[in-house]
Chains A and B, each alone.
Chain A
Amino acid sequence: QVQLQQSGPGLLKASQTLSLTCAISGDSVSSNSAAWSWIRQSPSRGLEWLGRTYYRSKWDSDYAPPVKSRITINPDTSKNQFSLQLNSVTPEDTAVYYCAREAYTSGGYYCGVDVWGQGTTVTVSS
């Protein structure tokens, strides 16, 4: 059974950097049939996909345009985990942050976000 365990601080001040880590058990961050994502949820913005990292012969990443200039998602193969770094946060970045697995079939077809972390409530004060 695949499980994701999130860790990281929940309180930040504006202009600081948000850093969260997601430890994977039951799967590998280097899997060719998964992508590892960060998704956030707030009352004002709903569910918002932020980006992902994945390995397909080489490491690659995709990011949502609204955060592309501020975000980095990195894999850590030595610890089988991945991380989120979001720079220059503002109160608008206040949300519950989830790490998640996007699953793919062996043929490369997307199967949805099938595993989620427990969520981390991040509050940014001004």
Chain B
Amino acid sequence: DIQMTQSPSSLSASVGDRVTITCRASQGLSNSLAWYQQKPGKAPKLLVYVASRLESGVPSRFSGSGSGTDYTLTISSLQPEDFASYYCQQYYTIPWTFGQGTKVEIK
């Protein structure tokens, strides 16, 4: 299985901050990488797929980048509704696997 390692596991930030979350895969993914946002008690929500393509309806302050084994989710200006947990997922090889998550908390 492909192992997905996210960093950091948690971070504290203020409204308006630029936030970057990193995901590293145990092997190259050829951009087969998605990002999800999850709020407490809710199902995850798709934000980005193919490493950088924004899902319909997702605000443009979210962006994805990367290649090979290293990928990044950036929130350009953190908003109150963005405080949540974020997960990466590889879909290069079955079984699909997820990172362990990054919790974004209010500073």
Contacts and interface: CB of A to CB of B under 8 A. Distances in A.
Interface in B87-107: 87, 89, 91, 94-101
Contacts of B91: 110, 112
Interface string B31-68: 01010100000011110111000010000000000000
Contacts, number: 53
Contacts of A119: 43
B65 to A, nearest CB: 16
Contact of B44 (A64, A109, A116): A116
Contacts of B32: 110
A49 B55 contact: no
Contact of A113 (B34, B48, B95, B100): B34
A47 B34 contact: no
Interface residues of A, number: 21
A114 B94 contact: no
B1 interface: yes
A47 B50 contact: no
Given A47-B44, A49-B96, A64-B95, A111 B49 contact: yes
Contact of B49 (A48, A65, A110, A116): A110
A113 B89 contact: yes
Nearest to B35: A112
B26 to A, nearest CB: 15
B100 A46 contact: yes
Interface in A63-82: 63-65
B96 to A, nearest CB: 4
A112 B98 contact: no
A19 interface: no
A27 interface: no
A48 B43 contact: no
Nearest to A117: B43
Contacts of B45: 116
Contact of A49 (B48, B95, B101): B95
A36 interface: no
A34 to B, nearest CB: 14
The 5 A-B residue pairs with the shortest CB-CB distance, nearest first, are: A116-B43, A112-B49, A64-B95, A47-B98, A112-B34
